[in-house]
Structure 1
Amino acid sequence: MNRTTREAGLTLIEVLIALAIFTVLSIAVLGVLPTLFKVNRSNQNDQAVTVAAKAFMESVRTGYSAQSTFDAGTLPAAPDTSLMGGLTCTTSQTNPVPTWVTATGSPMLRRVTLSCTGSGQPTYAFTLDFGRPVGTPGGAGS
């Protein structure tokens, strides 16, 4: 009796083809990694700037909750550049509706803008409007 048995397993050609496919897929995936790292770094910078700007605007809101501070137009210091990833920030405020003023000429609305710029980085601008707080009835601020 002459029997032919076939042994299970992979031939050298099959292993080489599988290795070639794996290599091509690995190169494609590894080629995307630098782009992913760059996007991740950019998102971290955006998040740091946004958190610092939010803290700044919150301190403005706290200060402007008093009518005297609002009328004086006193702004807190701009966020520290170390918190902003090296960006330099400037603050400004305007009266977006010039006709909305009190009898004494104080604006009823202030628009506060925080602009942050840096070399080779995008410019960030955060703007928030604050309404003049109402004084106590019968008090000096009425």
Structure 2
Amino acid sequence: MNATTPCPCGLPAPYADCCGRLHAEHAASGRLAAATPEALMRSRYSAFVRDLRPYLLASWHASTRPAALEPPEPGLRWLGLSVKRQTLQDAEHGLVEFVARSKLGGRAYRLHEVSRFVREDGQWFYIDRDIGGA
């Protein structure tokens, strides 16, 4: 991706100025720089698109983080992200509802999820999906 490549997260900004900045900040400092749960969720989507498994694991809360992530299926293409809503429950907890579209083996897929986030030590982390649908 060059400096003018659109960010995969769907915001009208180049990757380098959007999620790429968050990915680079983490690579340089080990800290997560997303200011909101939505920003973290968008950066995680972009990390899935770019297969940045270390970032995905680091942005996953330690209480629910898997030991490892499998590489993406060969031929998987991420097609787009639509954020439906973001809700801050309080200063340390948030929800983001989104739809992520992908294609694999000629078949289209749609992931509709409400993700839960928590802020610790000034950093937002993905916890899990809210099964109840909040």
Whichever structure has more strand as a proportion of its residues is 2
- TM norm structure 1: 0.30
- TM norm structure 2: 0.32
Larger RCO: Structure 1 or Structure 2 (Cα < 8 Å, ≥ 6 residues apart)? Answer: 2
Whichever structure has more helix as a proportion of its residues is 1
Larger radius of gyration: 1
